[in-house]
Amino acid sequence: MAAPFEERSGVVPCRTPWGRWYQTLEEVFVEVHVPPGTRAKDVSCSLQSRHLALAVGGRQLLQGKLFDSTIADEGTWTLEDRKLIRIVLMKTNRDAGNCWTSLLENDYAADPWVQDQMQRKLTLERFQREASQRTLDLTSVVQKSLEITAKEDQTSLALKNELF
């Protein structure tokens, strides 16, 4: 199986005062730098379909309406090395044309160059997935064809044995 998209071609991050965010066809990733030693019990993270809120130690770091809808019950957050919070949001619309131009409706917009690069990566990801699917489909057709040929050969051999 092919390596995940990120490993083959990298991501295009949009830098922010608190960290960065980036996206694939299916997901939006948010990485927030927090003070070293932060504990999970200090983190308050609310992930809703169209809203995100993140506070650490009672201090609001991120809050607002998301650029587009997500699948709320598939969103997750993790605290890594007690200094980075990684939020993963599952996009509702997973079409290559659904390239988020900003994380929140009115905040953390990608500049035009980053936006263009993000769109290129999503288009490439879609193309790679479609090519991979076509290869799998072709493999399946060839395998079925070989199975049919093998059955025909067995039938032909059985007829020859009956005749002679």
pLDDT score, position 102: 96
Residues 75 and 92: their CA atoms lie apart, in Å, by 11
Amino acid at 14: C
What number of H helices and E strands is found in the chain?
Answer: 2, 10
Over the stretch 68-108, which tens digit does the pLDDT of each residue have?
999 999 999 999 999 999 999 999 988 767 899 999 999 99
Amino acid at 137: D
Give the tokens for residue 146.
């070989």
Give the tokens for residue 112.
């035009």
Residues of the chain with pLDDT under 70: 1-10, 96, 134, 136-138, 141-142, 145-146, 150, 152-153, 157-160, 163-164
pTM over the 0.85 mark: no
pLDDT score, position 5: 41
- Enumerate the H helices of the chain as residue ranges: 5-9, 112-163
